[in-house]
Structure 1
């Protein structure tokens, strides 16, 4: 797959000039769009490189080996037990905690590392609540790129390896805004490119949508927790991209999107029809129920998530800590039986998602004919990480 500029690609013989920006042409500033080959079947579209590398022909990356990651993380796991508890036709986990660094951020990390290698960047920096920094650190270091990540002190426990080769994770006193300020200062002082582009973050979740298109084409509902919404936006992009390439893909479907109650501003904005979220309301609690779901930039994605929710008939709901705690033991037990690593103490995202689904089932929001895929976006225990 190539990114092409409608304004100047014809003048350059089809060569592209993308970069770590909002998918804008580096020559003329025009918007870049994917140029897809047509495929007769999935067997023609995939490679034998495991994980994200399997879908290189459908991603804007030149070298499949640079996208090598965990195949198991993109392989759905059936759970008749969970289907019965929800009263639905089928239930599958997409076990993202089987990724190398234990979360679904690996898809984004491996793709951005591959692109930064193509762009010949020697060093990068970023900020996050933890998981993104950890994934970027791992894959950037693998690609030979120095990565410095900044995380709020309160969520530094999500990054057990503060140093990896020349890459490092730096805890910052304060909140996400303070971590962002530290990353900006480091970029100015060190010359490392600060990674912030939304389009590439969305693209980093496309492999999940491609895996669902190939392996769960009968899915009717996709369940995942969200912060700013990059996850479902990327998943939907992957589903539509497979379809555009002439491949079998997920048919009519909707998303069940969940947030912790203390991070439910996206859900509130969509429910109330707000055009934007007041940043004064974005101050996270001193001790967040799940720091991973705290965000500093939802207004960038709010209109996109609104379009997705409207188009697919999806729902965004906040889930109380009490509901999560009541369901935690059941999900831990089910995942242990299926060898899906999960750790409530490290991250509660998957537990929030499951509690949200149980909430939906009890309120009559799920149908007996539903085929649900739940993205396990929670973390693996630290003793299973590199």
Structure 2
């Protein structure tokens, strides 16, 4: 298995909008020519054999050949291979307990790659923006790497997450206004020379980390994937990562179909659900409202067009849940021994409300596979209980 922080000289950041490539050393976080979204080019994944996997540690780095960066031995915290458990009262549904990651959320999957990239490039400063979990993940791995870190969060971010950020040594900027105001402030700071914008939205290395969610499912389910992946949707970091991972498994001949992706948004802030419903290819303009699911309250997702295309290409859907449904799901999970933050209950809320929409044909096909798998993304220890709205 590879170790260290090296990467292929072929890797570039590619803007499909204007067919422009940028070097990793440029620290570009958007296209310099047209300000378009950048994706990773020059990387072809491979997959370890069953014999390789049998002797590797139970971390996401067991899939080293499928990752664009080698394992950063001095930075890793053992992230990955979280448990897959039966859902309460639903033996046909599994829940992947990603809140058991080192910093308490699935965002560690992508943050470790960003820190490895920053370390390999020799940058001295990382900047991130977040509603909480991505920022705490980036701050933790920046601390491991010995890199100064600044994190921009909305002023209403849960106090537990702010305390966690400061404990890691990050400089925290609490920005009044919307989540988009926070992103704008971070983007301005990210343009300072010598700074890596460790954005879980803009930096494509993050998605190559979150795709390991699907690799682990594939391995945990005996080399198969479920009929449906139910995933939370704000900026789409897990949706896009899961889609990328499933496509790579399909291209390698390790699965014979893509799982259907059903993405879940909070009803008070659902620009992609509205776009999906209306057949649009870009996020719908909305006026966001407060929601207990603060982690997915994104009014203008930068990769909205990519998310819509990904969901549609799997035959999936984008649905919404109300705050009351999230509260009920949060309580039900806790009574089953699973204590998540309110956002982490959104997918279970959709499943419990019958919003996933599988058919009888699903039940007849591969009956030994779960019909659906959903993640439990963030620990409830970080957030106040969902008794009311964020203020």
Bin the TM-score by the shorter chain: 0.7 to 0.9
Match of 1:33 in 2: 42
Secondary structure of the structure 2 residue equivalent to 1:155: coil
Is the 8 Å Cα contact of residues 267 and 320 (structure 2) preserved in structure 1? yes
Q: Structure 2: which 5+ residue stretches go unaligned? A: 1-6, 13-21, 32-37, 384-391
Distance (Å, rounded) in 1 between the aligned partners of 2:11 and 2:137 = 30
Match of 1:174 in 2: 177
Query: Is 2:240 the counterpart of 1:211?
Result: no
Shift of 1:361: 6.2
What are the Cα deviations for residues 197-223 of structure 1, in whole angstroms up to 9, with x where unaligned?
A: 242332231111211222232411111
Distance (Å, rounded) in 1 between the aligned partners of 2:72 and 2:167 = 24
Query: Is 2:381 the counterpart of 1:372?
Result: no
1:113-128 to structure 2, matched below 5 A, reads: 113-128=115-130
Aligned CA RMSD, in angstroms, stands at 3.3
What are the Cα deviations for residues 7-41 of structure 1, in whole angstroms up to 9, with x where unaligned?
A: xxxxxxxxx953544699xxxx99723223465x2
Give the structure-1-normalised TM-score. 0.79
Match of 2:204 in 1: 199
Give the structure-2-normalised TM-score. 0.78
Match of 1:10 in 2: none
Match of 1:44 among 48, 52, 55: 52
Closer, same or farther: CA 181–38 of 1 in aligned 2, 3 Å: closer
Closer, same or farther: CA 57–295 of 1 in aligned 2, 3 Å: same
Match of 2:68 in 1: 60
Shift of 1:64: 4.8
Match of 1:359 in 2: 353
Is the 8 Å Cα contact of residues 101 and 108 (structure 2) preserved in structure 1? yes
Match of 1:291 among 294, 299, 306: 294
Secondary structure of the structure 2 residue equivalent to 1:4: coil
Secondary structure of the structure 1 residue equivalent to 2:298: coil
Distance (Å, rounded) in 2 between the aligned partners of 1:326 and 1:192 = 42
Aligned residues: 351
What are the Cα deviations for residues 153-194 of structure 1, in whole angstroms up to 9, with x where unaligned?
A: 111423322424542222222222332343244445685333
Is the 8 Å Cα contact of residues 258 and 317 (structure 1) preserved in structure 2? yes
Distance (Å, rounded) in 2 between the aligned partners of 1:38 and 1:195 = 27
Query: Is 2:267 the counterpart of 1:261?
Result: yes
Closer, same or farther: CA 113–166 of 1 in aligned 2, 3 Å: same
What are the Cα deviations for residues 71-103 of structure 1, in whole angstroms up to 9, with x where unaligned?
A: 5x523423164324xxxxx32221110011111
Distance (Å, rounded) in 2 between the aligned partners of 1:362 and 1:52 = 28
Closer, same or farther: CA 307–151 of 1 in aligned 2, 3 Å: same
Shifted more, 57-66 versus 104-113: the winner is 57-66
Shift of 1:289: 2.3
Shift of 1:267: 0.6
Q: Which has the higher helix share?
A: 1
Secondary structure of the structure 1 residue equivalent to 2:94: strand
What are the Cα deviations for residues 339-372 of structure 1, in whole angstroms up to 9, with x where unaligned?
A: x4x24xxx31221111101222697767434532
Match of 2:234 in 1: 227
Is the 8 Å Cα contact of residues 113 and 206 (structure 2) preserved in structure 1? no
Higher relative contact order, structure no. (Cα contacts within 8 Å, ≥ 6 residues apart): 1
